């Protein structure tokens, strides 16, 4: 029985319930790929699932992975040992905070050689969430006025860049420490929420993407233009539940209030990766941790102040 190192959840453990330890190395079935993980990023989905008691079967969190194919099951056709891959394991049991993980083909895409492993690991969940919120839920159009609330984190940094890629005029809201970073990503206007309440200005928007920021739905609706759309993709759990429960009720008329539960998608991930490969957008990585310090990474991300992505380098 081969062993590997992993960050494992134990509900009786204190203070983090996360332990770095030896566990059994997974074996791929006929329809799975075994990946040697070289980098993995932490996401809100990890710590929120842990806080809500939604624990992966193997008790190992981590969805966004980049690594090298170690072996493949009998029915695998798309990949072979040695291939470099990017994966989103959120729909197949997580397992990324480890030296090895298994996944079906549909969770993986090839990694371009010019993208570093840690850059690749920063892309899937945050990039896909921003893309699906702007393009699919928000129906973003060239020339629209777009407001991104919470531009400093993983989703927000991608959202600013994607909104500019789609040709929007972007106003971003963040704290003082993130103003310079947000401007450098291409935002046309940046509002420091510690100095200005954006909901009380005379500006209005065609599309609002709320990644963070404790504002009421009615305040957001007030600054929407007619036929405008509001899309909630993050924030505190109470904000998310309010958006799901009351958003439809406030969508009578031309202004629509929506929430997004992003879904992993090979084509969307390929789209994001191609933009990175072509230099159109870039992942913003604030902190890097080794695997044995992954609990520290989760703790830091859970505090809600990360600037961009937090990545764990496994090798």
Percentage of the chain modeled with pLDDT above 70: 92
- Which residue do the tokens 């624990």 mark? 55
> At the fourth CATH level, which superfamily is domain 3-122+283-313?
Medium-chain alcohol dehydrogenases, catalytic domain (3.90.180.10)
pLDDT at residue 315 is higher than 80? no
Q: What is the pLDDT of residue 14?
A: 58
**Tokens (6 digits) for 222:** 């007030």
pLDDT at residue 193 is higher than 70? yes
> Which CATH architecture best describes the domain 125-259?
3-Layer(aba) Sandwich (3.40)
Helix (H) or strand (E) holding 5: strand 3-9
CA–CA separation, 94 vs 107, rounded Å? 11
Q: 3-class DSSP state for residue 161?
A: helix
What integer is the mean pLDDT of 61-80?
Answer: 96
pLDDT tens profile 29-57: 999 999 999 999 999 888 888 888 889 99
- Bigger pLDDT: 64 vs 303: 64
Least confidently predicted of 62-76, 156-170, 225-239, 296-310: 225-239
Q: Where are the domains of the chain?
A: 3-122+283-313, 125-259
CA–CA separation, 87 vs 103, rounded Å? 8
CA distance readout (Å), 143 to 1, 166, 169, 256, 296: 58, 9, 6, 19, 42
């Amino acid at each position: 029985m081969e062993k590997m190192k992993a960050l494992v959840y134990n509900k009786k453990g204190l203070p983090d319930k996360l332990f770095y330890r030896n566990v059994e190395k997974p074996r791929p079935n006929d329809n799975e790929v075994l990946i040697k993980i070289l980098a993995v990023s932490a996401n809100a989905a990890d710590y929120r699932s842990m806080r809500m008691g939604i624990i992966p079967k193997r008790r190992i969190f981590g969805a966004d992975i980049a690594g090298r194919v170690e072996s493949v099951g009998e029915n695998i056709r798309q990949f072979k040992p040695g291939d470099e891959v990017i994966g989103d394991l959120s729909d197949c049991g997580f397992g990324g905070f480890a030296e090895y993980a298994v996944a079906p083909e549909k969770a993986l895409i090839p990694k371009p050689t010019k993208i570093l492993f840690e850059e690749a690991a920063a892309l899937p969940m945050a990039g896909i969430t921003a893309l699906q919120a702007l393009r699919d839920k928000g129906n973003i159009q060239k020339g629209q006025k777009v407001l991104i609330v919470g531009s400093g984190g993983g989703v927000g940094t991608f959202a600013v860049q994607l909104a500019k890629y789609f040709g929007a005029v972007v106003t971003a809201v963040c704290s003082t420490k993130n103003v310079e970073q947000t401007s450098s990503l291409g935002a046309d206007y940046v509002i420091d929420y510690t100095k200005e309440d954006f909901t009380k200005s005379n500006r209005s928007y065609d599309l609002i993407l709320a990644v963070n920021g404790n504002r009421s739905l009615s305040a957001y609706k007030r600054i929407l233009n007619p036929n405008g759309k509001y899309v909630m993709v993050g924030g505190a759990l109470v904000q998310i539940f309010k958006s799901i429960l009351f958003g439809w009720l406030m969508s009578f008329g031309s202004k629509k209030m929506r929430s997004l539960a992003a879904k992993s998608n090979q084509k969307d991930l390929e789209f994001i990766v191609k933009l990175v490969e072509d230099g159109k957008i870039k992942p913003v990585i604030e902190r890097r941790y080794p695997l044995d310090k992954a609990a520290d990474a989760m703790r830091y991300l859970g505090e809600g102040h990360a600037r961009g992505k937090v990545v764990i380098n496994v090798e």
